């Protein structure tokens, strides 16, 4: 293991890199000569069997050793060159993520090169969150490890665990920072009237439509997005977050990419299903008025191994059952995704209510969603225009930040709402090394704040608890963090020449102008 190189290695590394990822079941491979049976999944795929056995065997030894001191399994193991993260999501199953520690060769006295390892660039909360998010994504699309093992067998589970290889190959580890910890969601800033129209439309979709077409006993949940913003979800918080990430990182980008590749296609403004994984196979659904002939290629039923609508598993919440605690049972649902203009809607249809996804089902849903979503998309555009006008006339949270505010991140723990400016992971390709350093320092600030007790408000008239920190880094930037009322805000302020008192006054002004009544004034 000591000589193992990262999947993508280079001499002077700036970011942590994936070295390996493995899943083991400690009930397997306990007989001599059959140790490889405990390795249910290993990445990279090119690793030899003996190497997999050695890596997983060492991990199992560490797990067993830590049990001598605590009932809880190890979470992080640190060596000079590696950082290992452990997750025990289900009884007997362990997931181990091994990351390299960034290194830099420097010239020492006498001209000799000295290798140094920077453990500050591998924040534990970040990569621990990466591991948990990977498991939650698998559970959403495949179910629990043990359920697959019991119902489908060992070979089926091993095959489905290849999900993690694809998942980590797509993940940009260099962009992982404090935003990764939050698992946040961007909500669309629309007025309450437009939001109520979306909510009313969702209610009609979940109840009235399915009653009208003979699906009165079918349980349906819905999920609405505009571009990469969430508007409405009737799912629980964990399922909402996983589906949101899947839409933003996979479904929407791939759909838009396919549109660019098909240059001679005409956009369907009245709506279409996103298929084949999330809707009916065959020709794309065209305009509603073009007749029923457009549906002739849609299969008469969706069932069996040849299903063209994807199955997902809802209702797990955010808990892990490795400690034996009670966890809610997962419910299998069909996932159908539909798009009209920039509006996206996901229908999650409970399989237990025995829906028949036949041709007539898709035709009627298309007839309901097409014109409704198109009109709703227009309403959202108007609402966004109003919101921009309010910003430009002095409303809170305007597009122009305070001149001394380098970046900020806002997070609401209650609904996972996240707002960030100049710190968005989507722009990581253009991010300067210094700004990545700032994000890592904000990770440290986040850890510090979350490990400290709350304080009472300085104003006796305001019954609140809060904790805050203000510090200056070695680049001269001021970093500020505050937690209050389940809300967190982090800011980087470029006020290098000012005294602490002046910086604090500047920070208080920014907090008031950018975040309004979200926080009590400091």
The predicted structure's pLDDT at residue 357 = 78
What's the CA gap between 139 and 142, in Å, rounded? Answer: 5
Please give the model's pTM, rounded to 2 decimal places: 0.85
Q: Please count the other Cβ atoms lying within 10 Å of the Cβ belonging to residue 378.
A: 12
The predicted structure's pLDDT at residue 168 = 95
Would you say 288 and 370 are in contact if contact means Cβ atoms under 8 Å apart? Answer: yes
Domains, the chain, in order of start with CATH, read 18-164 (3.30.450), 192-390 (no CATH), 405-518 (3.30.450)
- Dihedral sign of CA atoms 453, 457, 463, 466 in order: negative
Write out the chain's pLDDT in tens, 522 residues: 445 655 444 345 578 999 999 999 999 998 888 999 999 999 999 999 999 999 999 999 999 898 888 777 779 999 999 999 999 999 999 999 999 999 876 665 566 677 788 888 899 999 999 999 999 999 999 999 999 999 999 999 999 999 999 999 989 888 888 899 999 999 998 999 999 999 999 988 887 777 766 667 778 899 999 999 999 999 999 999 999 999 999 999 988 887 776 544 444 456 788 877 787 764 433 333 333 334 333 333 333 333 467 899 998 665 555 544 455 689 999 999 999 889 999 999 999 888 777 777 888 888 888 888 989 999 999 988 887 766 654 444 444 677 888 888 999 999 999 988 887 655 544 444 457 788 889 999 999 998 877 655 555 444 457 788 998 888 888 999 999 888 899 999 887 777 888 888 888 888 887 776 665 444
Helix axes 433-450, 124-142, angle to 10 degrees: 90
Task: Report the first-to-last Cα separation within the chain, whole angstroms.
Answer: 51
Would you say 122 and 55 are in contact if contact means Cβ atoms under 8 Å apart? Answer: no
Instruction: Tell me whether the omega of the peptide bond preceding residue 276 falls within 30 degrees of 0, making it cis.
Output: yes
The predicted structure's pLDDT at residue 233 = 95
Would you say 145 and 379 are in contact if contact means Cβ atoms under 8 Å apart? Answer: no
The predicted structure's pLDDT at residue 33 = 87
Q: Please count the other Cβ atoms lying within 10 Å of the Cβ belonging to residue 398.
A: 15
Q: Please count the other Cβ atoms lying within 10 Å of the Cβ belonging to residue 308.
A: 17
Q: Which helix (H) or strand (E) holds 310?
A: strand 310-314
Would you call 339 helix, strand, or coil by DSSP?
Answer: strand
Maximum C-alpha span of the chain: 84
For residue 17, report the phi and psi dihedrals to the nearest 5 degrees.
Answer: -130, 155
Angle at 376 between CA 375 and CA 379, to 5 degrees: 95
- Spatial CB neighbours of 442, under 8 Å, sequence gap ≥ 6: 177, 178, 409, 479, 481, 490, 492
The predicted structure's pLDDT at residue 18 = 95
The predicted structure's pLDDT at residue 69 = 83
For residue 167, report the phi and psi dihedrals to the nearest 5 degrees.
Answer: -60, -50
For residue 468, report the phi and psi dihedrals to the nearest 5 degrees.
Answer: -145, 155
Angle at 96 between CA 91 and CA 99, to 5 degrees: 160
What's the CA gap between 488 and 78, in Å, rounded? Answer: 29
- Spatial CB neighbours of 165, under 8 Å, sequence gap ≥ 6: 21, 41, 43, 45
What's the CA gap between 20 and 321, in Å, rounded? Answer: 25
What's the CA gap between 147 and 149, in Å, rounded? Answer: 5
The predicted structure's pLDDT at residue 150 = 95
């Amino acid at each position: 293991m000591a000589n193992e190189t990262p999947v993508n290695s280079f001499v002077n590394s700036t970011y942590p890199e994936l070295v390996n990822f493995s899943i083991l079941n400690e009930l397997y491979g306990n007989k001599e000569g059959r140790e490889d049976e405990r390795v249910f999944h290993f990445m990279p795929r090119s690793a030899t069997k003996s190497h997999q056995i050695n890596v997983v065997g060492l991990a199992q030894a560490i797990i067993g050793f830590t049990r001598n001191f605590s009932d809880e399994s190890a979470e992080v193991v640190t060596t000079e060159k590696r950082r290992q993260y452990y997750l025990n999501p289900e009884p007997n199953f362990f997931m181990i993520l091994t990351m390299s520690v960034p290194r830099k060769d420097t010239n020492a006295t006498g001209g000799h090169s000295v290798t140094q390892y920077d453990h500050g660039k591998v924040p534990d909360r970040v990569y621990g969150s990466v591991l948990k998010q990977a498991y939650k994504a698998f559970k959403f699309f495949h179910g629990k490890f043990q359920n697959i093992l019991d119902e489908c067998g060992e070979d089926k589970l091993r095959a489905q665990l290849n999900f993690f290889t694809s998942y980590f190959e797509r993940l940009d580890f260099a962009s992982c920072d404090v935003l990764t910890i939050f698992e946040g969601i961007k909500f669309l800033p629309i007025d309450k009237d437009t939001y109520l129209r979306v909510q009313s439309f969702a209610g009609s979709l979940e109840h009235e439509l399915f009653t009208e077409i003979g699906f009165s006993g079918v349980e349906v949940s819905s999920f609405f997005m505009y571009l990469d913003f969430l508007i409405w979800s009737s799912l629980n918080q964990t399922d909402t977050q996983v589906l949101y990430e899947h839409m933003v990182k996979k479904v929407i980008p791939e759909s838009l990419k396919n549109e660019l590749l098909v240059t001679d296609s005409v956009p369907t403004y009245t709506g279409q299903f996103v298929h084949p994984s999330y809707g009916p196979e065959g020709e794309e659904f065209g305009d509603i008025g073009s007749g029923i002939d457009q549906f002739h290629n849609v299969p008469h039923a969706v069932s069996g191994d040849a299903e063209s609508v994807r199955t997902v598993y809802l209702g797990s919440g955010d808990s892990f059952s490795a400690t034996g605690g009670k966890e809610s049972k997962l419910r299998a649902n069909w996932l159908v995704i539909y798009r009209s203009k920039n509006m996206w809607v996901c229908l999650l249809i409970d399989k237990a209510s025995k829906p028949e996804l036949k041709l007539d089902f898709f035709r009627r849903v298309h007839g309901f969603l097409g014109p409704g979503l198109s009109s709703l998309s227009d309403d959202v555009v108007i609402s966004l225009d109003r919101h921009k006008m309010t910003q430009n006339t002095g409303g809170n949270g305007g597009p122009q930040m305070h001149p001394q505010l380098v970046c900020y991140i806002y997070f609401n723990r209650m609904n996972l709402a996240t707002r960030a400016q100049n710190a968005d992971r989507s722009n990581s390709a253009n991010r300067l090394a210094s700004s990545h350093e700032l994000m890592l320092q904000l990770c440290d600030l986040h850890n510090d704040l979350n490990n400290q007790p709350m304080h009472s408000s300085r104003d006796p008239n305001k019954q609140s608890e809060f904790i805050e920190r203000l510090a200056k880094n070695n680049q001269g930037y001021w970093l500020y963090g505050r937690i209050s009322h389940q809300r967190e805000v982090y800011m980087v302020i470029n006020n290098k020449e000012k005294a602490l008192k002046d910086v604090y006054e500047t920070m208080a002004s920014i907090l008031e102008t950018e975040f309004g009544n979200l926080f009590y004034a400091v």
